Structure 1
Amino acid sequence: MLSDVSNTISHLSMGMTLEPRGIITTGTASGVGMAMKPPRSLTSGDVITAQFKGIGELTYTVS
């Protein structure tokens, strides 16, 4: 990680109001998939699902 969670929250809260139950998404640095063997990246039709304990799932299909 380039920044830890507490620093990310601190930085975001300087420019916006963080609401209860809000979700902060970060991501992966550019090119990380190219370091894999074989290289991989998300492509159209890939499905990403995040599970949140006690809340449920969030699913996204790459377009």
Structure 2
Amino acid sequence: MPATNLEYWSTKIGRNQARDLETTTLLEARGWLVLRFWEHEPPATVAEHIAEQVRARRAGVSA
């Protein structure tokens, strides 16, 4: 949590988390697999994770 303007950031982060949970729930209910990544993650790492999920789903395994 940031050291300054704590009330603003805690409220904002809480709203973002609630929104993300709602979005994930709705998408998963419709059969989507939701993957989230941070912008600082290396693209190769993200691509490999996505590829792993695709391979697992094609094999009928939840990874």
| TM-score, length basis structure 1 | 0.29
* Structure number with larger C-alpha Rg: 2
Q: Which has the higher helix share?
A: 2
Q: Which structure ranks higher in relative contact order (CA pairs < 8 Å, sequence separation ≥ 6)? A: 1
Q: Which has the higher strand share?
A: 1
